[in-house]
Amino acid sequence: MTRRIEKVAVIGSGIMGGGIAALCASAGIKTLLLDIAPFDLTDAEKNDKKAKNRIVQAGLDAQLKAKPAAFMNKNVDLTLIELGNLTDDFDKLGDCDIIFEVIVENLKIKQDLFAKLEKVMKPGAIIASNTSGLPISQMAEGRSKAFKEHFLILHFFNPVRYMKILECIAGPETSKEVCDFVSKWGEQTLGKGVVWGKDTPNFIGNRIGVELICEAFKLIEKGLITIPEADALFGKPMGMPGTAIFGLADFVGNDTIDHIAENSYELLTKDEYREIYKTPKFFKDMMEKKMYGNKTKEAGGFYLSGKTPDGKKFKKVLDPKTGAHIDFDMKATYPLVEATKDFKTTGEKMKHVFKNNEFARTLLSSMCVYSANRIPEIADTLVEIDNGMKMGLCMGIRTIRNVGQSRT
């Protein structure tokens, strides 16, 4: 069968759906973007298409304003994107070659959508869910054999345009032809790096990444290192961007980290690291105070940035002992970070930090052992985990190979 993607559909125009639509349109593909009609329409608005498309329009507008830019070209041909709502325009899904489901992370709502979708989609169309962790078998429950053969998870990371990774998870019945096709299409047309994972909780990137973050929480609670020093060590010296660990948690959303950690604790009952997913009190307190990170500007997260009444910029950091944000020296230098500048390669820098810092040693050892022990549970080889970390958590280097490969 010769498959061509001439038109895609994206259902859900939130952070991820909007981002996927922007990516597809940037690749020159006709894109149908749908979302729910608002629940609070007045009687007068019930026949007003503009009012019914309010949510999807807001989704597109958010992408047009996104910083960094979600579209690859400022002058993107917006006629490539057709907006609609799920009440009036559902049948338009019938001529789409691939349909991305990018709606709220709720199994029942997704299952209901797939049941409706099965009635209108054209034979052979691919259906891809962007779920962060719902099992493929449960999402496809009750669907036909043909549906299941064309159904898989294509998990983009946020921000969609910039995160290289595309985690692909096939179900037991997904056809090989569909898997081979999406791998090639994802890489060649969307410019992504494909990583095949398995249908296990939180797949690869989030499973390993959140283990690392939760372990870091424990070490911070023990007082092994301060948050700014931990981030300084795990930035450039480790081949990661400056957001490192705690800045990254603020960027992703501490509520999302909390959700993944809780979900892991609940589902991974036989996981030898299960207790790590029980986050410490200071983090639970942060969740109570809605300190979700960059998205909660006033409350902040691990960091709090803002301007004083006289217009001066400030940045504070969380003191895990008191739960308050305190001043810190943003220009502080750390001897070990400075020492890494003498080494040329990231591998050498990492080894130096590993040898000389207990926090880094404990954290990296824990992540490497955890990763090694996840084969073949979450992936067939370490290569997928390495690629997942490299492309999904911005680790600029192959962590496991640089630090060592012992399996304990």
Count of all residues that appear for the chain in the document? 408
Q: Which stretch binds ligand NAD (CB under 6 A): 24-32, 128-136, 284-292, 316-324?
A: 128-136
- Least separation, in Å, of the C-beta of 319 and ligand NAD? 27
Q: Which is nearer to ligand NAD, 239 or 293 (CB)?
A: 293
Cα torsion angle, 59, 299, 104, 193, sign = positive
What Cα–Cα distance (Å) separates residue 295 from each residue in 127, 255, 257? 30, 10, 13
Q: Does 105 sit near ligand NAD (CB under 6 A)?
A: yes
Q: Which stretch binds ligand NAD (CB under 6 A): 102-110, 209-217, 337-345, 394-402?
A: 102-110
Q: Which is nearer to ligand NAD, 45 or 105 (CB)?
A: 105
Q: Which is nearer to ligand NAD, 252 or 382 (CB)?
A: 252
Question: Which of 14, 135, 171, 235 is close enough to bind ligand NAD by CB under 6 A?
Answer: 14
- Least separation, in Å, of the C-beta of 245 and ligand NAD? 17
Question: In 10 A of CB 366, how many CB atoms?
Answer: 19
- Least separation, in Å, of the C-beta of 53 and ligand NAD? 12
What Cα–Cα distance (Å) separates residue 89 from each residue in 10, 93, 143, 348? 12, 8, 22, 56
Contact 67, 17 (CB under 8 A): no
- Six-digit token pair at 352? 């130096």
Question: Which of 7, 9, 10, 17 is close enough to bind ligand NAD by CB under 6 A?
Answer: 17
Dist CA 118 CA 131 (whole Å):
18
Q: Does 249 sit near ligand NAD (CB under 6 A)?
A: no
Q: Does 15 sit near ligand NAD (CB under 6 A)?
A: yes
Q: What angle do CA 76, 294, 292 make, to 5 degrees?
A: 130
Q: Does 357 sit near ligand NAD (CB under 6 A)?
A: no
Instruction: Number of residues interacting with ligand NAD: please give it, by CB under 6 A.
Output: 21
Q: Which is nearer to ligand NAD, 15 or 76 (CB)?
A: 15
Q: Does 35 sit near ligand NAD (CB under 6 A)?
A: yes
Q: Does 13 sit near ligand NAD (CB under 6 A)?
A: yes
What Cα–Cα distance (Å) separates residue 360 from each residue in 205, 217, 338, 355? 20, 13, 15, 9
Q: Does 395 sit near ligand NAD (CB under 6 A)?
A: no
Distance of CA 135 to the CA centre of its chain: 16
Q: Which is nearer to ligand NAD, 131 or 174 (CB)?
A: 131
Cα first-last separation, the chain: 46
Dist CA 264 CA 276 (whole Å):
10
State the residues that interact with ligand NAD by CB under 6 A: 12-17, 35-36, 55, 59, 102-105, 109, 130-132, 155, 157-158
